[in-house]
Homo-oligomer: A and B are copies of this chain.
Amino acid sequence: MYGQIEKVISSFIDLDKSEFDYFTSKLQVKHLKRKELILSEGQVCSNSYFINKGCLRYFYNVNGEEVTGQFFFENGWYADFGSYLSGKPSDQNIEALEKTELLVLPKAVLDKLFIEIPKFEKFGRLIAEKAFLGIRQYTEMLTKQTPEERYLNLIKERPKVIERIPQHYIASYLGIKPPSLSRIRKRILDNK
């Protein structure tokens, strides 16, 4: 149950066994069905989530249409950082795309850990920095690449997304509509 999160945390900071056990004792396990939401817009994001198994996607509702922001897989973390930090309602929705098992880390617990085990502050900072770099990479993809380049790059860099995520969500993530992605796929096939 806690093997994966232990590996990930160890890659950030060194904890001895008692510290780690104390940490895991504060986690909650959550099982999600396909399409089940953990966070809806308007709610405050007061947890962060570690993915043991399955995958998540977050999306915005824009004029009644879903705009996909990102996908997360095993060993990934998710929180709506904006809402989490500010305590303001989130404008994101987050749902499971497969049967998913999460470890839930409430903000109150992490805030307490910052004080009780100061090493966790470094962990918090590194997670935040990773979040920043992640969104910057996505932004650069949008600003520097054409939709076709984005798709080709996704195949190369994140094959998991291609394999496990339905095409219309991928289209939305790439900033285009499903028929466009179909045409791009056809164009790529024709040019081979």
Query: Measuring CB to CB, which residues of chain A are less than 8 angstroms from any residue of chain B?
Result: 60, 62, 67, 69, 81-82, 85, 125, 128-129, 131-133, 135-136, 138-140, 142-144, 175
Contacts and interface: CB of A to CB of B under 8 A. Distances in A.
Nearest to A81: B132
Contacts of A133: 82, 85
A125 B143 CA distance: 27
A121 to B, nearest CB: 8
A75 to B, nearest CB: 21
Contacts of A85: 129, 133
A109 to B, nearest CB: 19
Q: A interface, by DSSP: helix, strand, loop or mixed?
A: helix
Contact of A142 (B128, B132, B142): B142
A67 B142 contact: no
Given A125-B125, A128-B128, A128-B129, A82 B136 contact: yes
Nearest to A138: B139
Given A60-B144, A128-B132, A142-B175, 7 more contacts: A67-B144, A85-B129, A85-B133, A128-B128, A128-B129, A138-B139, A139-B139
A90 to B, nearest CB: 12
Among A81, A85, A129, A140, the one with the most B-chain Cβ atoms within 10 Å of its Cβ is A140
Contacts of A143: 60, 67, 69, 142, 175
Contacts of A69: 143
A167 to B, nearest CB: 18
A135 B139 contact: yes
Contacts of A129: 85, 128
A165 B80 CA distance: 32
22 contacts: A60-B140, A60-B143, A69-B143, A81-B132, A81-B136, A82-B132, A82-B133, A82-B136, A85-B129, A128-B128, A128-B129, A131-B132, A132-B132, A132-B135, A135-B135, A135-B139, A138-B139, A139-B139, A142-B142, A142-B143, A142-B175, A143-B175
